[in-house]
């Protein structure tokens, strides 16, 4: 299949040419010194991108969902209590996941696009006494960046031993992460997002507190191919239980090196500029940002009531642009373009122009010609702030 | 990493150039008509390669081990009994896997390289009354092809409802499979073997008997990302629970089409010729076939007592050839070259020449110059038998 579409979605994302080229290298056997060198370098680079000391990361062959499952089963004792901070599709998924494995689950919800109040979270932690709190850093379904630092501090103050398990699927490599300073217990990510790889790898880091919470397999829900405790020991030695997705790992090594050459702070600033530019273009065309705290990884915007979001995504696709629409109750109204992949400023401006054409064609709010692209350009040309969002 | 090594291992295998090129195509979003078309075509082609009617196959992102885990959890009720036919590393793995998830496990073992006696299997089935029997079709650790048809018939005669779950990891696409005629209940395979893809995808087919054995999730061991029951329903609609490894799926579509153009019978005959040629070369150089019933997918041979197998694999690697060695107690003596991947007759002859040099260099049995390659050529030039092994 040859993909003519320009991918402007919050994952899967457009992958840089050098990374695609690495995928096409001849297959190497996973039990060779050449592959083990790539593997260990990829794990070390992943640690740097995750902002963790040492190189104690785990690379799984599978989805980000599988990686989150692995983290939950590795760190929460069987029958334990999980408080899931929902507020979006992925927050809800971790509640469902925990319930599926027999954990006692409480959900704390907010309207999609809203953030959690740290005091409310703390009160729920005191009342429910969970073993673990699950929280999504950048909730892709709503475009919301949750304040992990503040939430983790609130959890820690309410009950110091509670694990804070963070879905960093769309925040990894989209912004600097500080797991030690934030005092959190797990980072989970997937390959098809900020690190700009195809889907198929999951990335995990756990705190020592999380590793030590249920060290005896007899106290955990059974797992085999997703057993992080065994995998951690093997991966330190350059080994894995089952054959890993070697081609994706070879590509990851290249992608991670590119990202670290750019620098995560610089990359985060570019992403934030581009996604703000997408939001600004949308606003001039009558859209409304969904989130009160927009993620740097995606520009989630509601269409005016008169404009069907699926009609917009279809019209964009007909012009060769692929963005994400909304999920669940927001399907009729939500658009989620994103500059998360190998997307430059020029792509953002070109997209703004096409979005303007589509809105006009579909009878959306009238706007002066060129205002969408102009709004995007204004944001893109503003001085760059390093440091990134929290 | 650029791989200078020529890969002659029973997986991961050398991947054809057209399949590597497909891996490097721009990433497509998994929720697009273009990808869904590829996805459904890949699932249909997989069904043909598996020899099953319809298109009710499941493609998982992960290892063959993860796929076997998914099959066990989908088909055997919680706390059920599993009879594992061992006789090799992978046979033993499925016993360990079943035990990990709390099934009551009995093991039937034979010496590595031996096959199971159907009457003995039937007697164990009558005595133990398992819910399922696990069996490896082509046991890669010993190079043994087990007679699935005879074993399934024996199980079925002893206890008609017993599920027969078949690890077809190295038999898929290495020989014609006849799951309906054999009356078996599951086929499990991985991408890095006979279908000549990189590692990272698992392939599954279940019989209606297996799907219906534990249809209520409450009676099964909990699973989420490997829940085949949910995955089956979604995949029929061109959907998946989590983002699939799209690049590998696009490559699978190309690899499957190539294989079906060649034809599985023709491919099986070529593989069998080439692996027999590897065995024949080894025998002239003092090796001894390990298996009483050699698999068409791998040529497992024991070195003479005076010749260290790891020394042979190291010397081959120094000359740019990567084969597999032995596992567990056979590590000191076993060599496992294989023509399973994109390997031609000329590669087999060239390898036989290099093996002869290495054996001479390491002080192995003296042989007239060129006998290894000559033995390989004799087998390669024999008339082709279509139909393949059973």
Residue B116: closest CA among B139, B95, B93: B139
Question: What's the mean pLDDT in A74-103?
Answer: 98
CB contact under 8 A, B29 and A69: no
Pairing of strands B163-167, B132-136: parallel
Identify the helix (H) or strand (E) that includes residue A8. Answer: none
Pairwise CB contact (< 8 Å): A27 & B15? yes
Whole-number average pLDDT of chain A:
95
Q: Which of B113, B124, B164, B121 is nearest to B329 (CA)?
A: B113
Distance separating alpha carbons of residues B354 and A241, to the nearest angstrom: 31
C-alpha angle with apex B184: B100 to B174, nearest 5 degrees?
90
Assigned token pair, A156: 């820690």
Q: How confident is the model over B273-306, as pLDDT tens digits?
A: 999 999 999 999 999 999 999 999 999 999 999 9
Whether residue B385 has pLDDT greater than 70: no
**Chain B residue whose CA is closest to A325:** B31
Question: Is 60 exceeded by the pLDDT of residue A387?
Answer: no
Q: Name which of A20, A21, A27 to mutate to probe chain B: the one with the most chain B Cβ atoms within 10 A of its Cβ.
A: A27
With 50 as the cut, is the pLDDT of residue B1 above it? no
Distance of residue A304 Cα from the nearest chain B Cα, in angstroms: 24
Q: How far is A40 from chain B (nearest CA, A)?
A: 13
Among candidates A1, A246, A253 on the partner chain, residue whose Cβ is nearest the Cβ of B198: A246
Q: What is the DSSP track for A82-99?
A: EEEE-SSHHHHHHHHHHH
- In this predicted structure, the answer to whether residue A390 has a pLDDT above a threshold of 70 is no
* pLDDT tens digits along A187-236: 999 999 999 999 999 999 999 999 999 999 999 999 999 999 999 999 99
B 126-165 residues with CB below 8 A of A?
Answer: none
Q: Does B2 touch chain A (CB under 8 A)?
A: yes
CB < 8 Å to B248, chain A: 198, 200, 245, 247-248
Is B62's pLDDT higher than 80?
A: yes
The answer, yes or no, to whether residue A13 has pLDDT greater than 70, is: yes
pLDDT at A1 over 60: no
CA distance B85 to B77: 19
Q: pLDDT tens digit string along A233-248?
A: 999 999 999 999 999 9
Of A38, A66, A322, the CB nearest to B29: A322
pLDDT band at B327 (very low <50, low <70, confident <90, very high): very high
Greater confidence (B388 vs B138) lies with B138
Across the interface, whether the CB atoms of B61 and A241 are under 8 A apart is answered: no
Please give the share of chain A, as a percent, with pLDDT higher than 70: 97
Closest CA to B165 of B175, B152, B147, B150: B152
Tokens of A89: 């599709």
Q: Name residue A7's beta-bridge partners.
A: A322
pLDDT reported for residue B2 = 47
CB contact under 8 A, A27 and B7: yes
- Contact status of A71 with chain B (Cβ, < 8 Å): no
Check A20 against B25: CB less than 8 A apart.
yes
Cis peptide preceding B12, ω within 30 of 0: yes
* Cα–Cα distance for residue pair A125/A119, rounded to 1 Å: 10
- Using the Cβ of B38 and the Cβ atoms of chain A, whether some distance falls under 8 Å is answered with yes
Q: What is the predicted pLDDT for the residue at B318?
A: 95
Q: Inter-chain contact A3–B25, Cβ cutoff 8 Å?
A: yes
pLDDT at B11 over 80: yes
Candidates B15, B20, B61; nearest CB to A62: B61
CA atoms within 13 A on the CB side of B133: 31
Q: Per-residue confidence at B5, pLDDT binned at 50, 70, 90?
A: confident
Partner B contacted by A390 (CB < 8 A): no
Mutate to test the interface with A, among B27, B68, B141, B189 (most CBs of A within 10 A): B27
Across A277-304, b (16+ Cβ under 10 Å) vs e yields: bbbbbbbbbbbebbbebbbbbbbbbbbe
Which chain B residues are closer than 8 Å to A2 by Cβ?
25-26
Residues of chain B with C-beta less than 8 angstroms from the C-beta of A244: 63, 199-200
Tokens of A31: 């039990």
Query: Closest partner residue to B1 among A12, A38, A224, by Cβ?
Result: A38
Band the pLDDT of B203: cuts 50, 70, 90.
Answer: very high
Contact yes or no for A80/B256 (Cβ under 8 A): no
Report the gap between the CA of A16 and the closest CA in chain B (Å): 9
pLDDT band per the 50, 70, 90 thresholds, residue B54: confident
- Subunit contact A25:B35, Cβ cutoff 8 A: no
Q: Which residues of B137-155 are buried (b: 16+ CB within 10 A; e: fewer)?
A: bbbbbbbbbbbbebbbbbb
Instruction: Report how far residue A7's alpha carbon sits from residue B30's, in angstroms, rounded to the nearest whole number.
Output: 11
B198 with A245: Cβ contact below 8 A? yes
Averaged over B145-150, what is the pLDDT?
98
Q: Which of B271, B161, B264 is nearest to B213 (CA)?
A: B161
Contact B26 A15 (CB under 8 A): yes
Q: Is the pLDDT of residue B388 over 80?
A: no
A120 part of contact set with chain B, CB < 8 Å:
no
Return the number of CB contacts < 8 Å for A and B: 213
**pLDDT value at position A383?**
78
pLDDT band (50, 70, 90) for residue A385: low
Residue A68 class from Cβ within 10 Å (0-12 exposed, 13-18 middle, 19+ buried)? buried
Work out the angle at residue A50's Cα, subtended by the Cα atoms of residues A45 and A54, and round it to the nearest 5 degrees.
60
Asked whether the beta carbons of A155 and A185 are under 8 A apart, the reply is no
For A28, which of B3, B34, B222 is closest by C-beta distance? B3
Alpha-carbon span A207 to A183, nearest angstrom: 9
Q: Tell me which of B225, B238, B318 to substitute to probe the interface with A (most A C-beta atoms closer than 10 Å).
A: B225
Among candidates A26, A66, A317 on the partner chain, residue whose Cβ is nearest the Cβ of B62: A66
A188, A203 Cβ separation under 8 angstroms? yes
How do residues A283-306 score in pLDDT, each as one tens digit? 999 999 999 999 999 999 999 999
Let me know: does B227 contact B210? Beta carbons within 8 Å.
no
**Residues ≥6 apart with Cβ < 8 Å to B339:** B8, B271, B274, B275, B277, B278, B299, B347, B348
pLDDT above 70: residue A388: no
**pLDDT surpasses 60 at B68:** yes
* Residue-level pLDDT at A293: 97
| Strands (DSSP E) found in chain B | 6-7, 58-61, 81-85, 104-108, 132-136, 138-139, 144-145, 163-167, 186-190, 201-206, 288-289, 301-302, 321-322, 324-325, 334-336
Can you tell me whether residue B338 is helix, strand or coil? coil
Question: Which chain B residues are within 8 Å of A192, Cβ to Cβ?
Answer: 27, 243, 246
C-alpha distances in angstroms, A159 versus A164, B249, B288?
A: 11, 45, 64
CA distance A8 to A256: 21
Question: Which residues are CB-contacts of A185 (< 8 A; sequence separation ≥ 6)?
Answer: A75, A132, A163, A164, A165, A166, A206, A207, A209, A210
* Each residue's pLDDT tens digit, A14-35: 999 999 999 999 999 999 999 9
Closest Cβ–Cβ partner in B20, B65, B100 for A24: B20
Q: How far is B99 from chain A (nearest CA, A)?
A: 10
Q: How large a percentage of chain A has pLDDT more than 90?
A: 94
The band of A366, judged by pLDDT with boundaries at 50, 70 and 90, is confident
- Tell which B residues from 196 to 225 touch A, by Cβ distance under 8 Å: 198-200, 221-225
Interchain contact A372–B (C-beta under 8 A): no
CA of B280, closest CA in chain A: separation in Å?
25
For residue A6, the model assigns a pLDDT of 94
- Three-state DSSP at A209 gives helix
Tens-digit pLDDT profile for residues B343-355: 999 999 999 999 9
Mean pLDDT of chain B: 95
Tell me the sheet residues that pair with A204: A58, A188
ipTM of the complex: 0.96
Q: Which two tokens stand for residue B315?
A: 């010397």
Instruction: Write out the DSSP string of A300-365.
Output: -EEPPTTS-HHHHHHHHHHTTEE-EE--GGGTTTEEE----SS--HHHHHHHHHHHHHHHHHTT--
Measure CA A137 to chain center: 7
Q: What is the DSSP string of A92-135?
A: HHHHHHHHHTT-EEEEE---TT----HHHHHHHHHHH--SEEEE
Residue B117 burial (CB count, 10 A):
14
Q: Closest to B7 (Cβ–Cβ): which among A5, A29, A64? A: A29
Q: Which chain B residues have a beta carbon less than 8 Å from that of A102?
A: 222
Contacts of A63 (CB under 8 A, 6+ apart): A190, A199, A200, A202, B61, B225, B242, B243, B244
Cα Rg for chain B, rounded, in angstroms?
A: 21
pLDDT digits (tens, 9 = 90+) for B13-48: 999 999 999 999 999 999 999 999 999 999 999 999
């Amino acid at each position: 299949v040859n993909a003519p579409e320009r991918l402007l979605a919050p994952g899967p994302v457009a992958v840089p040419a050098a990374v695609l080229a690495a995928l096409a290298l001849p297959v190497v056997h996973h039990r060779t010194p050449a592959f083990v060198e790539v593997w260990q370098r990829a794990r070390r680079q992943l640690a740097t991108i995750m902002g963790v000391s040492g190189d104690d990361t785990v690379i799984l062959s599978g989805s980000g969902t599988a990686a989150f499952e692995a983290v939950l089963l590795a760190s929460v004792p069987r029958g334990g209590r999980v408080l899931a901070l929902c507020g979006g599709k992925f927050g809800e998924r971790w509640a469902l996941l925990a319930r599926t494995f027999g954990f006692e689950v409480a959900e704390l919800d907010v309207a999609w696009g809203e953030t959690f109040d740290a005091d409310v979270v703390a009160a729920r932690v005191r009342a429910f006494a969970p073993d673990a709190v699950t929280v999504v850093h950048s909730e892709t379904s709503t475009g919301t960046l949750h304040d992990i630092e503040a939430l983790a501090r609130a959890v820690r103050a309410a009950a110091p031993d509670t694990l804070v398990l963070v879905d960093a699927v769309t925040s990894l490599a989209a912004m600097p992460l500080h797991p030690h300073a934030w005092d959190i217990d797990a980072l989970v990510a997937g390959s098809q997002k900020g690190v700009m790889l195809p889907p198929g790898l999951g990335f995990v880091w756990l705190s020592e507190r999380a590793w030590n919470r249920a060290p005896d397999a007899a106290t955990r829900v059974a797992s085999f191919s997703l057993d992080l405790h065994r995998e951690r020991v093997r991966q330190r030695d350059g080994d894995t239980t089952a054959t890993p997705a070697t081609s994706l790992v070879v590509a990851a090594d290249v992608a991670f090196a590119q990202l670290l050459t750019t620098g995560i702070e610089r990359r985060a600033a570019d992403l934030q500029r581009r996604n703000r530019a997408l939001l600004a273009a949308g606003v001039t065309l009558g859209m409304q940002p969904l989130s009160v705290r927009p993620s740097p990884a995606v520009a989630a915007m509601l269409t005016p009531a008169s404009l069907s979001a699926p009609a917009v995504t279809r019209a964009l696709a007909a012009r060769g642009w692929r963005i994400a629409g909304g999920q669940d109750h927001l399907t009729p109204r939500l658009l989620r373009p994103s500059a998360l992949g190998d997307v430059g400023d020029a792509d953002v401006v070109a997209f703004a122009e096409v979005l303007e054409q589509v809105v006009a064609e579909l009878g959306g709010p009238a706007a002066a010609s060129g205002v969408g692209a102009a709004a995007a350009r204004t944001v893109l040309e503003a001085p760059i702030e390093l440091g990134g969002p929290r």
